[in-house]
């Protein structure tokens, strides 16, 4: 101790080494540390020595199945567990008057800060109702108060006041800058005026609203993020994937300023190569398209298993199911244990009486073709493959066994008899008309254009059917809008011999999207197709050349649609006077005595109809409001409807609202838990919306122990109606997945599994099961990571000592164990758990199974963990009696050396041959225009080698534009060259990071 040895090896001052501290506030000396360690030691007994040796890599005792499973979890999720326990933030003192965060919220905040520190972007994706705003405020406080950094919050306009109120509740003195997601002009001004002050943290609330990377809004925000290259980005959303994996990719691209490659490389076992996160998502999307083409459906479980390891790096997510499992007795809120309320889904049935059938048929007697359509099965009318008007395809339809008997089926048939010729004029080309799409030999551009128009035709048919179910008023308005468009199209065709076409079909998709009101951004929900079509600059005219187009047939089909529309208007007007659905809603509201009721409809037209007609059926004494108008007006309705949860004091003259009727403008980000009942006026088409709605009232801390969710459904024809819509959507998706990786036809949700029919079942058990399933499986994003739950459970189990936990965590590499719950179909003899990298930075979670003939197959992390999963009851150690161990370890080592030596070569062909020619053309143009060779080289290098996902996307867009202009013989302007130069100026050559091959055997299972 005193000869500059052992404890004082690096310290010459003996006093520093030997000082004994008197209390915990004094700094510990080396000797203090040593004596504390000595006092915590175990006696080196014979038993202890034998146990240590037995459990070493070459010892004779094997760890239990549970211990092996937990060690694998430590290897894969250990860093996440450490992140949660890191004390970056903590709970506030109860006497402070601030809201008290729950334990999981503090864990989430710590995890988010660590992920932000490591890679600059993190996403909080807790289920609706779990308090993402409070968790985010803790992260914001850390960056603003602890690190003294500039923080900017971007939120939907309707949630700005809610953020300000939350900051007040937390008594934040210097409130961060808060800007509206929709106010891009204000953002531009702020960027310019405050550009000298770097942003330390961006927070995007409801970031799924920025899932589309093509819009001006996205460009404004990503450029701001790029200008602050050292900034961190926190994304908040309960539904990061609404329609496709690109939704998530684009949000991460925004958060990283396009530098997704910095989030690391991810292994794809099918190609045996590493990819960036964006590339890996694109591979999965390609695989989903392949599954749709080959089998007609997507294996979502398989996709989720591949997604999980990709998402763990930057997503923090808790679900209601996970919280209930982790805290079965409830969470302590305001001093008492509280649980989530129990949800009870039920039906409200309405009828469209079949006694109206004869009158509806009578309206159609003037149209023999439409009358004939009533003799055929509805599903056969849903076909999209034949390129002709539906009233000319009777030879391809299936005749009914019995005469049509339902009033609703009559309307369905009439709607499906519309051909929408003005939106699919391409089918009238002589080369196409009357043929089946699959029989045509088309080049890529021709196939894309034709498929888009057929897809749009399918969308209109689907939208009309959905609006019919919502309300007769809504479909009546749609019919009127389409009739006006069709007559205008006909007039221009006759007067000018021109086909007036929408110039930008993606803009038409957006208009349809808004019209459908299922996936549109909040501020676009009132966007009307008529407004879109009044913008002349959005259109282009095509000569109605009779040598190219069958103009006579086009005119005839326009007349067919006008005739069907006339009959439809008469039929709907007749049924509107006998609307049973609105009366059923009034009846239910009148019977409700003690609960507030929140009624949702998808469509603004239906909300307008209810506002004008529902009050006359209601008894007096209840205050009902309809959430029409701007976002600020809707926020006022929310405060008066839920003053307790909104902490709102009613002003003089204001009345508290009992019944609030709204569209989904109200469903995002609102806490309305004063209410205990939701009524969904339309059938559910988007499970994400259903989850958002339920989350408004089904939250921790609500006073309601039970929540009631009522869903309207037609009394009859529900099954055939759902099948009809599903068939149409399947056909649209089939077209969508055959066009190409970046040519999405529409933003419909490919639902993972269809529980819709069971949700509307008259059997209560089926309804409850379906309701639960929708919440568990409605997203491509895997729910909470159940493996992480198992690791948390082990870590907090007080029956296990700290020494024991450390022993399991630090288990020697290469230990053998048993697959505890081997399934009958498992035909492998060994399962290896492998890792890549060096000892201090091992990246584990690679599993490979070997059959009897020693052929290995790499599994996903999820697949591997499911094979070795075990419970705490399976925790018995056993003697090592495994045979042929050296031989087995040798062929596993040989397998990873021979098969999985990964390289970082540029594996993706970024541009096809025509695009490479366009790039050469750009280079030559720059030479022709006299640009310096240094600048030309920088542009070319940026186009060919940039790893920034945003820059690559913009470059590809410009290369395609140049390619099109070249094909048409049109001029490539210097303005286009300047756009390439602008991107090249943002480009910074990146260093490639070498990736180690699979190198270590962590565990072997038999």
Q: Which residues pair with 549 in a beta bridge?
A: 429
pLDDT of residue 18: 56
Cβ contacts of residue 887 below 8 Å, gap of 6+? none
Closest CA to 244 of 667, 732, 750: 750
Closest CA to 251 of 221, 279, 227, 216: 221
pLDDT of residue 511: 47
* Predicted TM-score of the model (pTM): 0.70
- C-beta separation of 595 from 676 below 8 A: yes
Give dist(CA 45, CA 53) in Å, integer: 12
- C-beta separation of 759 from 767 below 8 A: yes
Q: 753 versus 722: which is more confidently predicted?
A: 722
Look at the block and give the residue holding tokens 């290098």: 941
Closest CA to 176 of 162, 185, 163: 163
Q: At what angle do helices 786-795 and 65-85 cross, to 10 degrees?
A: 90
* Res. 214 pLDDT band, cuts 50 70 90: low
Residue range(s) in the chain whose domain bears CATH number 3.40.50.300? 342-350+580-715+750-773
pLDDT of residue 375: 94
* Res. 46 pLDDT band, cuts 50 70 90: very low
pLDDT of residue 179: 92
Average confidence (pLDDT) over 299-315:
73
Architecture in CATH of 342-350+580-715+750-773? 3-Layer(aba) Sandwich (3.40)
Query: Alpha helices of 260-402 — where are they, by DSSP H?
Result: 277-295, 300-311, 320-326, 357-363, 368-373, 378-381
pLDDT of residue 667: 65
Task: Classify 264 in phi/psi space as left (phi over 0), alpha (psi -120 to 50) or beta.
Answer: left
pLDDT reading at 988 higher than 80 = no
pLDDT reading at 625 higher than 90 = yes
pLDDT of residue 717: 63
- What is the average pLDDT value for the chain, to the nearest integer? 79
pLDDT of residue 310: 73
- C-beta separation of 153 from 205 below 8 A: yes
E-strand stretches of 866-909: 878-879
Give dist(CA 166, CA 134) in Å, integer: 8
Give dist(CA 129, CA 114) in Å, integer: 24
* Res. 60 pLDDT band, cuts 50 70 90: confident
> Model confidence over 357-387: pLDDT tens digits?
889 999 999 999 999 999 998 888 888 889 9
Q: 817 versus 240: which is more confidently predicted?
A: 817
pLDDT of residue 59: 65
pLDDT of residue 42: 55
Closest CA to 670 of 318, 156, 207: 156
Count of other CB atoms within 10 angstroms of residue 126: 23
Q: Which two tokens stand for residue 480?
A: 């009127």
| Least reliable range by pLDDT among 66-80, 747-761, 802-816 | 747-761
Long-range CB contacts (within 8 A, 24+) of 819-824? 819/65, 819/867, 819/868, 819/1005, 819/1006, 820/65, 820/66, 820/69, 820/868, 820/869, 820/870, 820/874, 821/869, 821/870, 822/867
Q: Which two tokens stand for residue 813?
A: 């590499």
* Res. 749 pLDDT band, cuts 50 70 90: very low
Long-range CB contacts (within 8 A, 24+) of 783-786? 783/317, 783/319, 783/321, 783/322, 784/317, 784/318, 784/319, 784/321, 784/322, 785/77, 785/308, 785/312, 785/317, 786/322
> Model confidence over 546-582: pLDDT tens digits?
999 999 999 999 999 999 999 999 999 999 888 999 9
* Res. 52 pLDDT band, cuts 50 70 90: low
Share above pLDDT 90 across residues of the chain, in percent, rounded to a whole number: 25
Count of other CB atoms within 10 angstroms of residue 362: 12
pLDDT reading at 6 higher than 70 = no
* Res. 53 pLDDT band, cuts 50 70 90: low
E-strand stretches of 762-860: 815-817, 830-836, 843-850, 856-859
> Model confidence over 964-981: pLDDT tens digits?
888 878 888 888 899 899
pLDDT reading at 202 higher than 60 = yes
* Res. 43 pLDDT band, cuts 50 70 90: low
Query: Alpha helices of 206-261 — where are they, by DSSP H?
Result: 216-227, 245-255
Q: Which residues pair with 626 in a beta bridge?
A: 661
User: In angstroms, how far is the first alpha carbon of the chain from the final one?
Assistant: 50
pLDDT reading at 463 higher than 60 = yes
Closest CA to 461 of 531, 411, 527, 400: 411
Q: What share of the chain is helix, strand, coil (3-state, %, to 5)?
A: 50, 10, 35
pLDDT of residue 557: 96
| Least reliable range by pLDDT among 235-249, 459-473, 561-575, 913-927 | 235-249
* Res. 248 pLDDT band, cuts 50 70 90: confident
Q: Which two tokens stand for residue 503?
A: 């110039």
Helix (H, G, I), strand (E, B) or coil at 576: helix
927 membership: H or E segment, kind and range: helix 913-928
pLDDT of residue 899: 58
Burial (Cβ within 10 Å: 0-12, 13-18, ≥19) of residue 983: buried
pLDDT of residue 72: 93
pLDDT of residue 536: 43
Average confidence (pLDDT) over 456-478:
88
Cβ contacts of residue 4 below 8 Å, gap of 6+? 12
pLDDT of residue 675: 92
Half-sphere exposure of 211 (CA within 13 A, CB side): 19
> Model confidence over 489-529: pLDDT tens digits?
899 899 889 887 654 445 555 544 443 433 333 333 233 34
Cβ contacts of residue 918 below 8 Å, gap of 6+? 959, 960, 962, 963, 966
Average confidence (pLDDT) over 652-660:
92
Give dist(CA 678, CA 596) in Å, integer: 9
pLDDT reading at 953 higher than 60 = yes
pLDDT reading at 420 higher than 70 = yes
Q: Which two tokens stand for residue 122?
A: 């993190």
- C-beta separation of 842 from 835 below 8 A: yes
Look at the block and give the residue holding tokens 């609030």: 660
pLDDT reading at 905 higher than 50 = no
- C-beta separation of 268 from 275 below 8 A: yes
E-strand stretches of 60-127: 61-62, 121-124
pLDDT reading at 484 higher than 80 = yes
Cβ contacts of residue 549 below 8 Å, gap of 6+? 425, 428, 429, 430, 499
Give dist(CA 781, CA 591) in Å, integer: 40
> Model confidence over 911-937: pLDDT tens digits?
888 888 888 899 888 888 888 888 898
Instruction: Please give the distance of CA 594 from its chain centroid, rounded to a whole number.
Output: 37
pLDDT of residue 446: 82
Q: Which two tokens stand for residue 477?
A: 């308005």
Q: 300 versus 880: which is more confidently predicted?
A: 880
Average confidence (pLDDT) over 650-667:
89
236 membership: H or E segment, kind and range: strand 232-236
pLDDT of residue 528: 38
| Least reliable range by pLDDT among 16-20, 677-681, 707-711 | 16-20
- C-beta separation of 292 from 734 below 8 A: yes
Give dist(CA 989, CA 10) in Å, integer: 43
What is the DSSP track for 446-496? HHHHHHHHHHHHHHHHHHHHHHHHH-HHHHHHHHHHHHHHHHHHHHHHHHH
pLDDT reading at 745 higher than 70 = no
Is the dihedral angle over the CA atoms 53, 58, 61, 67 positive or is it negative? positive
| Least reliable range by pLDDT among 492-501, 707-716, 904-913 | 904-913
Cβ contacts of residue 933 below 8 Å, gap of 6+? none
pLDDT of residue 804: 93
Radius of gyration of the chain (CA): 32
């Amino acid at each position: 101790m005193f000869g500059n040895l052992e404890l004082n090896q690096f310290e010459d001052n003996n006093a520093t080494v030997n000082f004994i501290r008197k209390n915990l506030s004094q700094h510990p000396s080396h000797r203090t540390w040593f004596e504390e360690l000595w006092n915590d030691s175990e006696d080196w007994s014979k038993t202890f020595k034998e146990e240590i040796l037995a459990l070493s890599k070459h010892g004779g005792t094997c760890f239990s199945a549970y211990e092996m499973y937990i060690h694998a979890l430590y290897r894969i999720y250990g860093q996440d567990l450490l992140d949660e326990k890191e004390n970056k933030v903590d709970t506030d003192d109860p006497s402070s008057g601030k809201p008290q965060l729950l334990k999981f919220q503090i864990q989430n905040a710590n995890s988010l800060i660590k992920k932000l520190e490591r890679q600059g972007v993190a996403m909080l994706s807790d289920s609706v109702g779990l308090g993402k705003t409070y968790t985010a405020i803790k992260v914001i406080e850390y960056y603003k108060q602890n690190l003294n950094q500039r923080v900017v919050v971007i939120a939907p306009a309707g949630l700005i006041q809610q953020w300000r109120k939350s900051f007040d509740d937390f008594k934040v003195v210097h409130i961060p800058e808060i800007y509206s997601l929709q106010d891009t002009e204000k953002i531009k001004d702020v960027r310019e005026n405050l550009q000298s002050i770097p942003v330390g943290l961006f927070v995007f609330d409801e970031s799924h609203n920025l899932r589309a990377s093509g819009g001006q809004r996205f460009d404004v925000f990503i450029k701001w993020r790029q200008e602050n290259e050292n900034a961190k980005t926190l994304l908040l959303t309960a539904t990061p994937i609404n329609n496709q994996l690109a939704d998530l990719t684009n949000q991460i691209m925004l958060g990283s300023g396009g530098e997704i490659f910095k989030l690391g490389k991810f292994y794809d076992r099918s190609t045996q190569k590493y990819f960036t996160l964006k590339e890996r998502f694109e591979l999965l999307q390609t695989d989903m398209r392949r599954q749709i083409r080959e089998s007609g459906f997507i294996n979502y479980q398989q996709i989720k298993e591949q997604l999980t390891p990709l998402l763990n790096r930057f997503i923090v997510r808790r679900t209601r199911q996970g919280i209930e499992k982790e805290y079965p007795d409830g969470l302590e809120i305001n001093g008492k244990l509280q649980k989530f309320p129990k949800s009870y889904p039920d039906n409200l049935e309405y009828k469209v009486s079949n006694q109206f059938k004869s009158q509806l048929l009578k309206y159609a007697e003037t149209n023999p073709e439409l009358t004939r359509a009533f003799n055929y099965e509805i599903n056969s009318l849903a076909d999209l493959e034949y390129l002709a008007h539906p009233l000319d395809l009777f030879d391809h339809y299936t005749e009914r066994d019995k005469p049509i008997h339902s009033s609703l089926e009559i309307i369905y048939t009439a709607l499906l008899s519309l051909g929408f010729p003005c939106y699919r004029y391409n089918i009238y080309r002589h080369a196409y008309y009357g043929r089946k799409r699959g029989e045509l030999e088309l080049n890529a551009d021709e196939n894309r254009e034709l498929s888009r128009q057929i897809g749009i035709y399918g969308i209109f048919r689907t939208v009309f059917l959905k609006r019919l179910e919502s309300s007769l008023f809504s479909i009546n308005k749609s019919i009127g809008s389409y009739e006006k468009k069709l007559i205008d199209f006909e007039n221009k065709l006759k007067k000018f011999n021109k086909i007036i076409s929408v110039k930008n079909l993606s803009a038409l998709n957006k208009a349809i999207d808004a019209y459908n009101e299922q996936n549109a951004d909040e501020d676009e929900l009132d966007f009307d197709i008529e407004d879109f079509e009044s913008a002349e600059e959005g259109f282009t005219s095509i000569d109605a050349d009779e040598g190219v187009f069958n103009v006579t047939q086009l005119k005839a089909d326009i007349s067919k649609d006008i005739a069907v529309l006339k009959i439809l208007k008469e039929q709907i007007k007749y049924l509107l006077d006998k609307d049973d659905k609105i009366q059923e809603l009034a009846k239910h509201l009148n019977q409700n005595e003690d609960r507030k009721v929140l009624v949702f409809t998808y469509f603004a037209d239906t909300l307008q109809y209810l506002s004008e007609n529902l009050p006359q059926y209601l008894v007096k004494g209840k205050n009902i409001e309809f959430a029409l108008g701007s976002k600020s007006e809707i926020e006022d309705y929310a405060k008066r409807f839920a003053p307790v949860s909104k902490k709102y004091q009613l002003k003089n003259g204001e009345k508290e609202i009992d019944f609030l009727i709204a569209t989904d403008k109200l469903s995002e980000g609102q806490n309305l838990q004063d209410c205990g009942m939701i009524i969904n006026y339309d059938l559910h088409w988007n499970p994400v919306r259903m989850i958002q709605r339920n989350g408004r009232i089904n939250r921790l801390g609500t006073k309601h122990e039970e929540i009631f969710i009522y869903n309207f459904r037609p009394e009859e024809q529900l099954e055939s109606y759902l099948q009809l819509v599903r068939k149409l959507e399947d056909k649209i998706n089939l077209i969508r997945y055959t066009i190409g990786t970046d040519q999405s036809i529409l933003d419909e949700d490919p639902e993972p599994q269809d529980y819709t029919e069971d949700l509307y079942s008259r059997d209560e058990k089926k309804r409850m099961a379906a309701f639960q399933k929708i919440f568990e499986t409605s997203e491509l994003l895997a729910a909470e990571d159940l493996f992480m739950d198992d690791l948390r459970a082990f870590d907090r189990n007080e029956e296990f000592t700290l020494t024991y936990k450390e022993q399991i965590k630090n288990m020697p590499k290469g230990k053998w164990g048993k697959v505890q719950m081997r399934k009958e179909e498992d035909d492998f003899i060994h399962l290896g758990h492998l890792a890549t990298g060096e000892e201090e930075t091992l990246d584990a979670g690679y599993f490979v199974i070997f059959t009897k003939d020693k052929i290995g197959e790499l599994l996903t992390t999820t697949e591997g963990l499911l094979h070795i999963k075990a419970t705490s009851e399976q925790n018995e150690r056993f003697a090592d009696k495994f045979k042929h161990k050296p031989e087995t370890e040798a062929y596993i080592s040989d397998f990873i050396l021979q098969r999985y030596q990964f390289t970082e070569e540029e594996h993706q062909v970024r541009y096809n041959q025509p695009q490479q020619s366009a790039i050469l053309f750009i280079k030559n143009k720059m030479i022709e225009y006299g640009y310096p060779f240094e600048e030309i080289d920088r542009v070319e290098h940026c186009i060919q080698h940039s790893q920034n996902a945003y820059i690559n996307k913009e470059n590809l867009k410009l290369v395609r534009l140049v390619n099109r202009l070249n094909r048409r013989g049109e001029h490539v302007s210097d303005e286009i060259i300047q756009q390439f130069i602008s991107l090249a100026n943002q480009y910074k050559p990146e260093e490639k990071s070498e990736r180690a091959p699979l190198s270590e055997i962590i565990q072997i299972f038999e």
